[in-house]
Structure 1
Amino acid sequence: MKWYALLVVLMVGLGLQAQEEKDIVVKRTLHLMGSTFEISVVAPTEEIGYINIDEAVSEIKRIEALISSWDENSETSKINRNAGIQPVKVSRELFLLIERSKKISEITDGAFDISYASMDNIWKYDGTMDKMPTASDVKASIEKIGHQKIILDPDEQTVFLQKEGMRIGFGAIGKGYAADMAKELLISKGVKGGIVNASGDLTTWGTRETGEKWMVGITNPVEKNKIYSWLPVVESSVATSGNYEKYIVFKGEKYSHIIDPRTGYPTKGVTSVSIFSKRAELCDALATAVFIMGRDSGIHLINQLDGVEVVLVDGDNKIHKSAGIVFDTNQYVEK
């Protein structure tokens, strides 16, 4: 999700005293999947820590080769090339990711939809757009979108896009999935704790080398240089979707770069959404969906999902939350 201007501020690198075992935190920042990844691991030595991080990077690159719609050799690209022509047999891993994506589309009433990649780019956020698109242009831009048009055959393990010109893309779920897979690999290698932060789609396990919990800070929407509340992220994940940086203004009205795939129009009324759950993949997808659904519908949905919570900032910079979130606002900490 390239649009993130993070509501979530990761508290890493504070209080890095060694335990009796002399564990340290080793961290690297890399450019992967077109975004910035920050991988932190708890390790007995710096050398071992960097070896662990290299293994995580290899896993993320493997995921990118699988789901990239820019790589002509990827399974995703093959699906897109055969839209409206024929089903494509894919690996079980990609099939299951698409299957899970379709289920998220169903529970969000299409607010999340990997076929959004079929949308014509009629909204420009590079400073070149000088007028609103027409209603007919907007309608035409979304004609090929619809998770119902993604046909899965579990017996043959094939994927078929019904309409010619359809495309799928994993921009709103792929980095979360990659973070989850890198985490699983590191846990299997015996890494005691760490964080994989994929441009704001982050997942944690274990504790810091001091034994303390990994924490994220919710930014005060009125005083953005202060933390509104710290929240623990224990064996869990968080992702944030926001419209801080990419938007356009017509006649004094602000239009977000986050487009509702059902209508073709930018989403209004929400500034940022942070989702907390066990898996970064789900956080990634639901952050986008709730942003599009809006405050009331989005929070209502999250309150019905076990193990999922949300913190939402509306267009008036007011903070809203799901039932399971408890804020500790006794301290306002400078970022």
Structure 2
Amino acid sequence: MKILLTISFLLISLSSGLCQQVFKKQTVLMGSVFELVVIAHDSAQAEGYFQPAITEIERIENLISEWRPHTQISQVNQYAGIRPVKVDREVFELTRRAIRYSRLSNGAFDISIAALDHVWVFDGSMDTLPSPTAIEKSIQDVGYQHILLDSLHSTIFLEKKGMKIGFGSIGKGYAADRGRELLQSLGIQGGIVNASGDLSAWGTQPDKQPWKVGVSNPFKAHKIQKVLRIKNGAVATSGNNEKFAEIDGKRYSHIINPKTGWPSAGLASVTVWGPSAEFANFLSTSIMVLGRKEGKKLLERFPGYKAVMVRDR
């Protein structure tokens, strides 16, 4: 789960002589709270905008969720080590980008880390560490190099039986970007698609001011450590303050190092902002795994993105 970002804005302003307002709607999608924010003249118009965005995000969830048995990604996982599975081009391209992110981060980002979901549990029930043997055995099923893509036939094949892929790291960012694209295509002048802290924004508030996004302090939930002013861009945060396992007084992050099978350490949170929520997702997750020094080196390769890193205590 990502750290929730605080969105502040003015409610009513005048634009071109017409009263425009900021309308919000919260709903649960992809297992998280989504908040949709749009500028409209009245609630009826705003509701007409909300529903297409919700439908689009539900469509994406029904393609890429590894928890719903009927999705294409669930089928890919089901046939790991058995045969390739044909998927929609959208799913194929998202997977191809994820593999590219793995290469860019030298394996710090890896969607096949989903194979470890039975070793580490972050729902509050885990009270003992997994054995080193269990971790070592599970990471044998992790490795983006074993995700084979056939572009001609649009298939995905996981080479090893026991492999599993999941888009918990970039899926909500992708959905936020797609939601933004859809709402922009409807002619909405400004708004935000906030996927539990991974958000895409465009345009301005009715008074022409940028959207203000407050980045929470991971150690003081109600304290804002930085305010970002976003017109057309995205923000994503990875951290260990909301989803973790606490064992013998030590907190273990839900963000796992794909190479070791152990939770990332050294950073409590990483917030990245730039043009795309999906790409910011990739960077924030990778930096959590790489740590501050190597994470800064990765970030410097993409000058369109900036980050705030908070050290763990």
TM-score by length of 2: 0.94
Establish whether residue 292 from structure 1 lines up as the match of residue 289 from structure 2. Answer: yes
1:227-284 residue CA offsets vs partner (Å, 9 max, x unmatched): 3332211210001111113334445433222221211111111111001121111112
Taking the TM superposition and a 5 Å limit, the aligned residue runs for 1:119-268 are 119-220=116-217, 225-268=222-265
Counterpart secondary structure, 1:77 = helix
Counterpart secondary structure, 2:194 = strand
Q: Which residue of the partner structure matches residue 61 of structure 2?
A: 64
Identity of aligned residues (%): 43
Q: What is the Cα deviation at residue 114 of structure 1?
A: 1.0
Counterpart secondary structure, 2:152 = coil
Pair 1:204–1:262, CA change in 2 (3 A): same
Q: Given that residues 218 and 269 in structure 2 are in contact (C-alpha distance below 8 angstroms), is that contact kept between their aligned partners in structure 1?
A: no
Give distance in 2, aligned partners of 1:76 and 1:129: 27
Give distance in 1, aligned partners of 2:126 and 2:112: 24
1:49-106 residue CA offsets vs partner (Å, 9 max, x unmatched): 1101111111111111111112222111221121111111211111110000100011
Give distance in 2, aligned partners of 1:10 and 1:98: 31
Pair 1:179–1:127, CA change in 2 (3 A): closer
Q: Which residue of the partner structure matches residue 19 of structure 2?
A: 22
Give distance in 1, aligned partners of 2:86 and 2:176: 25
Give distance in 2, aligned partners of 1:62 and 1:126: 26
Structure with the higher strand share, 1 or 2: 2
One-letter amino acid of the structure 2 residue matched with residue 276 of structure 1: W
Give distance in 1, aligned partners of 2:189 and 2:28: 24
Q: Which residue of the partner structure matches residue 306 of structure 1?
A: 303
Pair 1:220–1:32, CA change in 2 (3 A): closer
Give distance in 2, aligned partners of 1:128 and 1:52: 39
Pair 1:50–1:134, CA change in 2 (3 A): same
Give distance in 2, aligned partners of 1:260 and 1:57: 33
Pair 1:145–1:49, CA change in 2 (3 A): same
One-letter amino acid of the structure 2 residue matched with residue 174 of structure 1: G
Q: Given that residues 120 and 141 in structure 1 are in contact (C-alpha distance below 8 angstroms), is that contact kept between their aligned partners in structure 2?
A: no
Q: Given that residues 216 and 222 in structure 2 are in contact (C-alpha distance below 8 angstroms), is that contact kept between their aligned partners in structure 1?
A: yes
Q: Which residue of the partner structure matches residue 327 of structure 1?
A: none
Q: What is the Cα deviation at residue 126 of structure 1?
A: 4.1
Task: Between 46-55 and 214-223, report the one with greater CA deviation.
Answer: 214-223
Give distance in 1, aligned partners of 2:55 and 2:84: 30
Q: Given that residues 120 and 142 in structure 1 are in contact (C-alpha distance below 8 angstroms), is that contact kept between their aligned partners in structure 2?
A: no
Aligned residues: 312
Pair 1:223–1:61, CA change in 2 (3 A): closer
Q: Given that residues 275 and 286 in structure 1 are in contact (C-alpha distance below 8 angstroms), is that contact kept between their aligned partners in structure 2?
A: yes
Pair 1:118–1:225, CA change in 2 (3 A): closer
Q: Given that residues 11 and 22 in structure 2 are in contact (C-alpha distance below 8 angstroms), is that contact kept between their aligned partners in structure 1?
A: no
Give distance in 2, aligned partners of 1:51 and 1:116: 38
Counterpart secondary structure, 1:38 = strand
What do you get for the CA RMSD once the two structures are aligned?
Answer: 1.8
Unaligned runs of 5+ in 2: none
Task: Between 133-142 and 271-280, report the one with greater CA deviation.
Answer: 133-142
Q: What is the Cα deviation at residue 200 of structure 1?
A: 0.4
Q: What is the Cα deviation at residue 300 of structure 1?
A: 1.4
Match of 1:272 among 269, 272, 288: 269
Q: Given that residues 11 and 21 in structure 2 are in contact (C-alpha distance below 8 angstroms), is that contact kept between their aligned partners in structure 1?
A: no
Q: Which residue of the partner structure matches residue 87 of structure 1?
A: 84
Pair 1:251–1:119, CA change in 2 (3 A): closer
Match of 2:3 among 5, 9, 17: 5
Counterpart secondary structure, 1:137 = helix
Task: Between 256-265 and 269-278, report the one with greater CA deviation.
Answer: 256-265
Taking the TM superposition and a 5 Å limit, the aligned residue runs for 1:312-327 are 312-316=309-313
TM-score by length of 1: 0.88
Counterpart secondary structure, 2:177 = helix
Pair 1:183–1:130, CA change in 2 (3 A): closer
Unaligned runs of 5+ in 1: 317-335
Establish whether residue 110 from structure 1 lines up as the match of residue 69 from structure 2. Answer: no
One-letter amino acid of the structure 2 residue matched with residue 183 of structure 1: R
One-letter amino acid of the structure 1 residue matched with residue 6 of structure 2: V
Q: Given that residues 24 and 45 in structure 1 are in contact (C-alpha distance below 8 angstroms), is that contact kept between their aligned partners in structure 2?
A: yes
Give distance in 1, aligned partners of 2:158 and 2:223: 47
